[in-house]
């Protein structure tokens, strides 16, 4: 697959702070790339630099094989952007909003009408096309925002936190729509703080921190970076200090946490620790109501790489 985006040695500073520090990566045609990172990691600066919404200090950005610039309107016509903040016109209907944004790129009325209806169907808003934004729920408004950004059938789409604060039904609709866009040939850059969405959607993931790539690869490749092998979670109503300290002595256990009746035991080796844990609980007469084991998640890897401290 050819590269749709090529970023080479990108640098952007704000005074003495380097928001992007010699960043280089490619995005392949037809893939969904997850761009992840904690607050202040450089995600937004990177996206705005790629889109030429922000002037960077050094480096090179090429899109569709051409150098990107603020005046590269032929490239921009092939790009769709859906920002986290909803940006629609309150005085226009659902149909009118999508038609307006599509009309910025598609002049032919018949083609535009077809594209608008395709966008309505994609996000499930056909029955709402005559309503105004103020009449829509938060989930429907998010779906309208997406429709406005992709109605002109762009080849490259940037989706910035598209499922923030939406209900499960709307989230499922949005995720299915994103898969459909990829299946129809679009290349997608996807940012989110919901790691389960990344595992569902993304073909490849880049994790940024302090303006640098600290890890990249498929979901399975990133999970392989985790220092833990297995996590066993146990619901235990009562646990004495002596009983709790005893878990630290179990072979291959790397950490133990107990809070609000939930015990989490992390192993750094082995994949079949559940049976041994059940035996341990029974032999030490520790009563439990539920127990299950799971392999490292992408969220585990993310926290391991970027730390658990809060970011501004």
Q: Which residues does residue 23 pair with via DSSP β-bridges, in sequence order? A: 10
Which pLDDT band, with edges at 50, 70 and 90, does 312 fall under? Answer: low
Residues 247 and 195 in one domain: no
Is 306 within the bounds of a domain?
A: no
In the DSSP assignment, the letter for residue 84 is: S
Kindly tell me if the per-residue pLDDT of 48 is higher than 70. Answer: yes
Mean pLDDT of 285-301: 92
CATH number for the domain spanning 252: value is: 3.30.70
Mean pLDDT of 99-125: 97
Q: Which residues contact 97 (CB under 8 A, 6 or more apart)?
A: 88, 89, 133, 144, 147, 148
Is 300 within the bounds of a domain?
A: no
Is 25 within the bounds of a domain?
A: yes
Which pLDDT band, with edges at 50, 70 and 90, does 310 fall under? Answer: low
Strands (E), 105-219: 156-160, 187-191, 204-209, 212-217
Is 189 within the bounds of a domain?
A: yes
Residues 14 and 65 in one domain: yes
Alpha carbon dihedral 153, 155, 160, 163, in 10-degree steps, equals 50
Q: Which domain holds residue 196?
A: 3-223
Residues 92 and 186 in one domain: yes
Residue 229 is predicted with a pLDDT of 84
Residue 256 is predicted with a pLDDT of 95
Report the alpha-carbon distance of residue 95 to residue 119 in Å, rounded: 10
pLDDT tens for residues 188-232?
A: 999 999 999 999 999 999 999 999 999 999 999 999 888 888 999
Residues 165 and 269 in one domain: no
Which residue pairs from 174-180 have beta carbons closer than 8 angstroms and sit at least 24 positions apart in sequence? 174/123, 174/142, 174/143, 174/146, 175/200, 175/201, 177/122, 177/123, 177/124, 177/143, 177/146, 178/32, 180/122
**Total number of domains constituting the chain:** 2
Kindly tell me if the per-residue pLDDT of 66 is higher than 80. Answer: yes
pTM: 0.88
CATH number for the domain spanning 156: value is: 3.40.50.300
Residues 217 and 240 in one domain: no
Residues 218 and 243 in one domain: no
Report the alpha-carbon distance of residue 288 to residue 178 in Å, rounded: 41
Is residue 310 packed enough to be buried (19+ CB in 10 Å), middle (13-18) or exposed (0-12)? Answer: exposed
Is 304 within the bounds of a domain?
A: no
Kindly tell me if the per-residue pLDDT of 271 is higher than 80. Answer: no
Residues 150 and 248 in one domain: no
Is 176 within the bounds of a domain?
A: yes
Listed residues 206, 223, 240: the one ending a domain: 223
Listed residues 223, 238, 261: the one ending a domain: 223
Residues 103 and 191 in one domain: yes
Residues 136 and 250 in one domain: no
Local structure of 123: helix, strand or coil: helix
């Amino acid at each position: 697959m050819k590269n749709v985006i090529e970023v080479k040695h990108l640098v952007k500073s704000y005074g003495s702070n380097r928001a992007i520090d010699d960043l280089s990566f490619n995005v392949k045609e037809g893939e969904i790339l997850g761009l992840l990172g904690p607050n202040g990691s450089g995600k937004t600066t990177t996206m705005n630099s790629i889109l030429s919404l922000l002037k960077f200090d050094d480096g090179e950005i090429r899109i569709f094989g051409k150098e990107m610039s603020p005046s590269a309107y032929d490239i921009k016509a092939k790009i769709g952007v859906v920002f986290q903040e909803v940006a629609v016109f309150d005085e226009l209907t659902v149909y009118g909003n999508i038609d307006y944004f599509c009309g910025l790129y598609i002049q032919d009325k018949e083609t535009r009408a077809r594209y608008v209806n395709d966008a309505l169907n994609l996000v499930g808003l056909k029955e709402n096309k005559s309503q105004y934004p103020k009449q829509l729920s938060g989930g429907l408004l998010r779906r309208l925002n997406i429709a406005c950004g992709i109605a002109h059938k762009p080849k490259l789409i940037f989706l910035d936190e598209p499922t923030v604060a939406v209900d499960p039904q709307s989230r499922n609709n949005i995720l299915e729509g994103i898969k459909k866009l990829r299946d129809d040939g679009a290349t997608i850059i996807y940012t989110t703080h919901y790691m389960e969405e990344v595992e569902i959607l993304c073909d490849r993931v880049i994790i940024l921190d302090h303006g640098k790539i600290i890890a990249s690869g498929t979901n399975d490749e990133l999970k392989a970076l985790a220092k833990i092998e297995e996590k066993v979670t146990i619901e235990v109503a009562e646990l004495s200090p002596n009983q709790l300290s005893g878990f630290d002595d179990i072979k291959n256990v790397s950490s133990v946490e107990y809070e609000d009746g939930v015990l989490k035991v992390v192993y750094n080796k082995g994949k079949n620790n559940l049976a041994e844990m059940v035996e341990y609980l029974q032999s030490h007469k520790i009563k439990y109501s539920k127990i299950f084991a799971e392999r490292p998640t992408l969220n585990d890897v993310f926290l391991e790489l970027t730390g658990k401290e809060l970011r501004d």
